[in-house]
Each structure stands twice: as C-alpha cells, then as structure tokens.
Chain A
Amino acid sequence: MTSVAAPVPADAPQGLELPEAGRLRSTVDFYLTTMRLAVQEQFQYRTANYFYMFGMVAEPVIYLVVWTTIAEQQGGSVQGLTVGYFAAYYIVWTLVRNMNIVFGAPFWEHRIREGELSGALLRPLHPLHFDVAFFAGWKVVVIVLWIPLAIGLSLVFDPVLDPRPLEIAVFFVAIWGAYLLRTMFQSTLGMLCFWTTRGAAIFDLWMTLELLLSGRLVPLPLMPDWVVTVSWFLPFQWAFFFPIEALVGDFTDAELARGLAFQLLWILIGLALFKLAWRFAIRRFSSVGN
C-alpha cells in the first residue's frame, strides 16, 4: 500500500494564514480608519469631553495653588522651583494627563462581563490594536479641545515657558510615548480581570503608586530622595514627569535622548508583559453574555 495523500484541488486557497504581503498595509489601514472613526465620533461629544477635561483640570489647579502658596511664603520658590515653573509644569500636566487616558484596566472587566470580548476575538486582529488605534484617534480630539483650556489657564496663572525647538520636538514625541507606555501597563493590569471581577482595589493601588512616583502629584525633585531613587526603577516617571519636564525644564540633549530611550524600553517591556499575561489569561476565558 502506498500512502495516499489527500488530493488537493488546484484552485484551493493556499492555507488559512493571512497573506503576509498585504499584512502591514491592512494593519496601517485599520489604524487610520479606526482613528478617523474615533475623531468623528468624539467630535460629536464636545460637551461631554469638556466636562471630563474640566473635572480633570481641578486636580492640577489644586496642586498648583498649594505649591504657589508655599513658594510665595518662602520668597518665590521651593527648592529653586519658581512660581512660574509650577504654573508651566501643571498646565503642561493637563495635556500629558489627557494623553495618559487609555483603555484602562477597569474597562477590561466591562469588556469581559458584557460579552464584548467574544465579538472582539472573532476579528482577525488582536483587540489591543483596536484600543491603541481608537484612543489614539480620540487623543487628536483631546489635543484640539485642550488648546483653549491651556490658553485660559495660561492667562490665569502666568507660566514661564521657554523651550528650545528640540525640546518641543521631543515633547511631541514623548506624549505619544507616554500614551503607548501607559496603554501597555494598563492593558497588562487589565488581564487580572480574567481571574477576578474585584480588581478595583488593585487598580487603585497601582494608580496610587503612579500618583506618587510619576510626577503627577508634584515635580519629582520635590519628593524625598528615596522616592526619586525608587522611581528610577519603575515605568511611571517616563509617562508623566519626563514629557512635562522635556518641555518645561532644561534637560540636556543627552537627557532628552535618554528619556526617549527609557520610554521605548518600558513600552517594549510592557508589551512583552502584556503578551505573556494574555497567553495565560485568554485560556481562562469562557464567553459571558451573548
């Protein structure tokens, strides 16, 4: 008996793998289309977006007022940071914070609980692509809506801002780096939702670490030395302090380059962690909902 191979019809499709040749192009197309959709969708909800942004602005304004008060009590500066610096720091803060809003960990719970993940899994593309693309599109709307807000805050608080062209360029790269960095870590954290529906406390703990170690609460130099040391071993400051300080402070060229390199490094680490967590998480998934 000779072994008989299954007959292959001449016109059968060549396997089920995606045609590699068009893959990059269709991925780029997917990103552009999703971003465009997000822009169109979010521009309809201008009031809602502004509500959200106004709520967010309260936080830096509080910090700003507190540190301005302290600086003025001490003759105009705290540890060499002037009132004008604080104003610039916290106004730029508002944009960086907005860039930091991503498809966060708590939304994974919603996605799983409501059965949306089942649908997303049927697509030929990983859901993470959609999250990155959709929120990136939203960011475009956010940046446009942010401009009047920034002008208003600048009129009220007199920031001192004197960046070099290179610093401006690095800033615009760094805010997108911050966006990707935070996306990776929030998504990884979101994988917890495959195990528990009570991740809220853990997410809060993470947010708290981030608040204290990223420069969100105060410019990092104001923190105790040991906190600054700890922050060097964690991703947080590269998504917050670094982009702000790139524009507001006086980093040298080498420090700017180092910052971008650290961002890239942490994005890759975050992506690796996400992929690892996803492999285990998705095995646990059984569809909920319809």
Chain B
Amino acid sequence: MGTVRVFWLFFRVGVMNELQYRMNFVVQLLQSAITLGVALAVLALVYSHTDDLNGWSQSELLCVFGIQILMGGVIKAYIQPNMTRVIGEVRDGKLDYALTKPEDAQVLASVREVRIWQVVDVISGAVVLGFGLSGIVADLALLDAAAFAVALVLGAVMIYCFWLVIATGAFWIVNMWHAIELFDGVYLTGRFPVGIYPGWLRYSVTFLVPIAFAVTVPAEAVTSRLEWQTLVIAALFATVLFVGTRWFWRFGLKRYSGASA
C-alpha cells in the first residue's frame, strides 16, 4: 500500500513540475512527429522493395512500429529518467538522501522522476498501432486484446528490470552514462520483429535486453500469432528477472558506502 501511495505522491509532484514548462510540450510534439515521420518513411521504403518481410505485411509491421514507439514513450517517461538519476546520484553521493528515507529504497529510486510530455509518444504509438490494426483484415479477438495488454505490462516490467541492473551497475562502475546510448541503440532493434535477426542477436534482444518481450510479443498478440506458451514464458521470465534484480539491487546497495559524507 505504501508503495502505491509513494508512487502517486511523486507522480503528482512530478507532473505538476513538468506542467510548468509548457514549451516542452511543443518541442515534444515536434520530436514525436519527427520520430513518427522517420518510422513511416522506413516502412514505405522497405515495402517499396517487397510485399512481405519475413512473413509480416506492411500493416502488421506498422503495429510493431506503433508498439515500439508506445513502449519507447513509457521508457522515456518513467523508467529511463529514474534510472539515470540513480546513476548520477551514485556518482554525486546524493543517493544518500533517498536511502535515509523510511521507505523501500528500490521503490523510491524507481518513482522519483516522471517526464509527462513523453505521453505524446505513447499516444502517437497507440495511433500508429490503431492504423496498423485497421489495415489487418481479421478482427481483433477479445482474447488477443487481453494477451496484448498482459504482454505489454510484462514487457515494461522486464525493461524496468534491465534498467535497474544497469543502474545498480553504477555501484561498481561509476561511468555508466554511455549505457543510455547503448540502450537507445539496442532499443531500435524493436522496430522489427525479432524473427528476422540471426540467432545470436535474437537471443540477445530477448533475454539479455528484453526488447523482444516488450515489443515483438505484444505485436504477436495483436496480429493473432502469439502462442500461449510464449506468454507463459514471458510471465515466468518477468518474475525471475524481478526477483533477481531486486536481489542484485540490495547486493549492490550493501556495497555502496556513500560519497557525500
């Protein structure tokens, strides 16, 4: 219960803080429009040379793009800002302020920042997904929609866990800044269904950086190609990751001695 309350409190403060900077909304609109434009240009280019990419039609790939943009918005609104803040604070010694509060340190470290304008990406991703779905002949079954929602949440949890590992890594390696570039680069792989990648890369972006679970699996759900086993694996993997990263975070914390004092 406490977790939800803390989350809600920080969320409200964060949103109020961000709403002061309305110009950021305009900038974000432009940037989202650019992201969208590039995605559509890539799609048009690919399908000007073929009708089918490894079994995915243009409309189906549009769904993948939409989910990738949507999930990217979630990551940039919530996960990434919190985790990069932890990385920065480990270096500056400011993490002590969070650790001395009478609340679970992991919860605090994960909810303090929110970039509400990134919601524009979430919405534009959803719109793209909608357009993609409208191009697919078969109707979206209720079961598929439910599987999509579950897969999306599981995917976000897994991405969060991945980022927490990176942030915890800052307890050992102080210079983790490039992790952001690394993640942004690797996240681009989500633009395409992981099936097209060679084996080593497919496994890397599934289990090492869980982008396949975050984007391809939800996309499989809405295009009616998801097998229930995949969803079970996703749920199991998310649980293992969540427990594992929580342990890793605590392990890292024990090692942390503060830098400010």
B242 at the A interface (CB under 8 A): no
How far, in Å, is B51 (CB) from chain A's closest CB?
Answer: 9
Residues of chain A within 8 A (CB-CB) of B135 are none
Within 8 A of A (CB), among B31-60: 31, 34, 37-38, 41-42, 45-46, 48-50, 52-54
Q: Does B173 contact A (CB under 8 A)?
A: yes
Chain B 140-188 interface residues, beta-carbon cutoff 8 Å to A = 173, 175, 177-179, 181-186, 188
Given contacts A61-B201, A66-B196, contact A55 B45 (CB under 8 A): no
Q: Which residues of A contact B207 (CB under 8 A)?
A: none
A65: Cβ under 8 A from any B Cβ: yes
Specify which of A57, A61, A218 lies most central, judged by the most chain B CB atoms within 10 Å of its CB: A61
A10 proximal to B (CB < 8 A): no
Out of A55, A62, A78, which one reaches B49, CB within 8 Å? A78
Give CA–CA (A69, B175) in the complex, Å. 37
Asked if residues A79 and B27 are in contact (CB atoms below 8 Å), the reply is no
Are B178 and A48 closer than 8 Å at their CB atoms? yes
Q: Which of A47, A58, A200, A211 contacts B189 (CB 8 A)?
A: A58
Across chains A and B, the number of contacting residue pairs, with CB separation under 8 Å, is: 91
B34 touches A51 (CB 8 A): no
Taking the complex as formed, is B192 at the interface, i.e. its CB lies under 8 A from any CB of chain A? yes
The reply to whether A224 and B178 form a contact with Cβ atoms under 8 Å apart is: no
Q: Are B178 and A51 in contact (CB under 8 A)?
A: yes
Among A198, A201, A211, the most chain B Cβ lie within 10 Å of the Cβ of: A201
Instruction: Tell me, in angstroms, the Cα distance from A62 to B204 when the chains sit together.
Output: 13
Q: Is A70 within 8 A of B49, CB to CB?
A: yes
B residues less than 8 Å from A49 (CB atoms): 178
CB-CB under 8 A from A61, the residues of chain B are 189, 201
- Please tell me if A223 contacts chain B, counting CB pairs below 8 Å: yes
Tell whether A45 is near chain B: CB-to-CB under 8 Å: yes
B30: contacting residue among A52, A204, A212, A222, CB under 8 A: A204
Q: Which residues on B sit within 8 Å (CB–CB) of A69?
A: 53-54, 196
The answer, yes or no, to whether B23 is at the interface (CB within 8 Å) is yes
Chain B contacts of A204 at CB under 8 A?
A: 30-31, 34
Q: Does A88 contact B (CB under 8 A)?
A: no
Task: Tell me whether A62 and B188 are in contact (CB under 8 A).
Answer: yes
Dominant secondary structure at the B interface: helix
Q: A279 to B48, alpha carbons, bound, how many Å? A: 46
> Given known contacts A54-B182, A224-B48, is B188 in contact with A198 (CB within 8 Å)?
no
**A217 close to B (CB within 8 Å):** yes
B198 close to A (CB within 8 Å): yes
Query: Which residues of A100-157 are within 8 A (CB) of B?
Result: 156
Residues in A with CB closer than 8 Å to B200 are 156
**A-B CB contact pairs (8 Å), 22 listed:** A47-B175, A48-B177, A48-B178, A51-B178, A52-B181, A54-B182, A55-B181, A55-B185, A56-B181, A56-B185, A62-B191, A65-B201, A66-B192, A69-B53, A74-B50, A198-B27, A200-B27, A201-B27, A201-B34, A205-B34, A212-B41, A222-B45
Give residues in A with beta carbon < 8 Å to B.
45, 47-49, 51-52, 54-59, 61-62, 65-66, 69-70, 73-74, 78-79, 156, 198, 200-201, 204-205, 208, 211-212, 217-218, 222-224
Extra inter-chain contacts (14) besides given A55-B184, A62-B192, A79-B49, CB under 8 Å: A48-B175, A49-B178, A51-B179, A54-B182, A54-B185, A55-B182, A58-B186, A65-B198, A65-B201, A70-B53, A200-B31, A201-B26, A201-B34, A217-B45
**B interface residue numbers (CB < 8 A to A):** 23, 26-27, 30-31, 34, 37-38, 41-42, 45-46, 48-50, 52-54, 173, 175, 177-179, 181-186, 188-189, 191-192, 196-198, 200-201
In the complex, the 9 A-B pairs of residues with the closest C-beta atoms, listed nearest first: A55-B185, A51-B178, A55-B182, A201-B30, A58-B185, A55-B181, A52-B178, A70-B50, A58-B186
